[in-house]
Structure formats: C-alpha cells, structure tokens
C-alpha cells in the first residue's frame, strides 16, 4: 500500500487506495422526514460503503499504521496522530462525503489475534472511550481558541477587515477565503482544533464558524 505522508505541526497524515468488501450489518438509525430523508439515506449508504472498504483491508491498513487514527472516505485511507487530524484530512480531500473512522485500541486492551466475543467487545469499548476522551479534549481546546479570539476581537478584526480568520494553537491565521484558511490550518496545524470567524457564515471543515 502506497501512502502519501503530509507532516504539519508535529502531526502526520497519509492517504492511500483500498478495495471493496461484502456488506456488513449496521445499527438502525432514526429516519428523517421531508427533504432530508433521501439525503440522510444516501449519506448512510456512503458511510457503510466506506466501512466495508476498511474491513476488507483491515489487517493491511492496521499493520501499516499501528496506533494511528484512520478515516476512509471516497475509497481513500487517511491516517493521522489524532482522530481530529484524520477527520480533517478526509474532509479536506472529500468535503461533503461520508467517512468511516477508526480509533486505535489503547495499550493493554488489545485482544490477541483471532480472539472474538467478550474480549473483542471490551477492546472496541476501550477504543470508543479513548475516542470520546479525545473529542472532549478537542472541545475544550476549541473553547480555549475562542476565548483567545474574544479577548482580542476588536484588535484582530480591525487589523484584518473583511478577512477570514482562525485562531489555532493561540495563533491568528488570516486568509481571503474559507478554502485558503482551511488549507493554512491543514498545512501548519493539522490535528489541532481551531475557532473560526468569517465575514459570512460559511461552514468550514475544521471547526466552528462565527459571524
């Protein structure tokens, strides 16, 4: 498997091709009514397909990227040191498409090869718990970046009128468009939460957007 690595801010991300697999059952999800019903159904099918691709190549992918967070989107595998980094890499390459995410099992919880049943369930539960802990840390860090922005709001906006602005790792990043701002965060702050402020409310793939 060929992986194209991208390093930024001490983090690493990669991407590679992968093959398909037979369908596997997934938990039921609540249905949406109206105009969103078909959109949700299409997104769900797409996400299931990405999971099938991961499962068809699980051993190869995990062997190539031990201890990494992984996303599969549009048939490509994205690898990073954090769940957020993997999600950012997938969204940057394939914005608007569903992805499947895998978080590594913490040390001490890994079941021996071939082990299934309760031990495997414990392993999956540990991985889920680790992911939720990282998500909580990301939310706290995003809030911290917003605090930095708010403490300097007038000065920042006066210095960069009409610009798209992000605060990440305590640094102010400025660009003419949301796309360029996302690219800058991707290059220099991959895997780190950011707070965004744009002239208009345009969704960003990396964090919260504010007017």
- Our CA angle for 116, 123, 22, nearest 5°, is 55
Q: Work out the pLDDT band at 199, boundaries 50, 70, 90.
A: confident
Whether 127 is in a domain gets the answer no
Q: Work out the pLDDT band at 8, boundaries 50, 70, 90.
A: very low
**Total of domains in the chain:** 2
Whether 16 is in a domain gets the answer yes
For residue 178, give its domain range: 140-210
Per residue in 38-60, pLDDT tens?
777 888 899 999 999 999 999 99
Give the mean pLDDT of 11-19: 47
Can you tell me whether residue 130 is helix, strand or coil? helix
Q: What are phi and psi of 100, to 5 degrees?
A: -105, 135
Q: Looking at the structure, do residues 31 and 89 belong to the same domain, yes or no? A: yes
Whether 81 is in a domain gets the answer yes
- Residues 27 and 120: their CA atoms lie apart, in Å, by 18
Whether 28 is in a domain gets the answer yes
Per residue in 90-104, pLDDT tens?
888 887 788 999 888
- Our CA angle for 55, 60, 61, nearest 5°, is 70
pTM of the model: 0.53
């Amino acid at each position: 498997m060929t992986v194209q690595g991208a390093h930024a801010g001490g983090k690493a991300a990669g991407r590679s091709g992968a093959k398909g697999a037979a369908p596997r059952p997934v938990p039921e999800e609540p249905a949406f009514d109206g105009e969103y019903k078909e959109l949700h159904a299409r997104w769900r099918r797409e996400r299931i397909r990405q999971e099938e691709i991961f499962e068809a190549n699980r051993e190869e992918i995990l062997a190539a990227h031990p201890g990494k967070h992984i996303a599969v989107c549009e048939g490509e595998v994205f690898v990073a040191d954090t769940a957020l980094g993997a999600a950012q890499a997938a969204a940057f390459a394939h914005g608007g498409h569903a992805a499947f995410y895998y978080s590594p099992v913490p040390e001490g919880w890994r079941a021996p090869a071939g082990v299934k049943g309760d031990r495997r369930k414990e392993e999956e539960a540990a991985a889920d718990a680790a992911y939720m802990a990282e998500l909580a840390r990301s939310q706290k860090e995003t809030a911290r970046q917003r605090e930095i922005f708010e403490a300097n709001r007038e000065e920042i906006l006066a210095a960069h009128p009409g610009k798209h602005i992000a605060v990440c790792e305590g640094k102010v990043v400025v660009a003419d468009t949301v796309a360029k701002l996302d690219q800058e965060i991707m290059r220099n702050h991959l895997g780190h939460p950011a707070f965004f402020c744009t002239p208009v409310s345009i969704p960003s793939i990396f964090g919260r957007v504010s007017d």
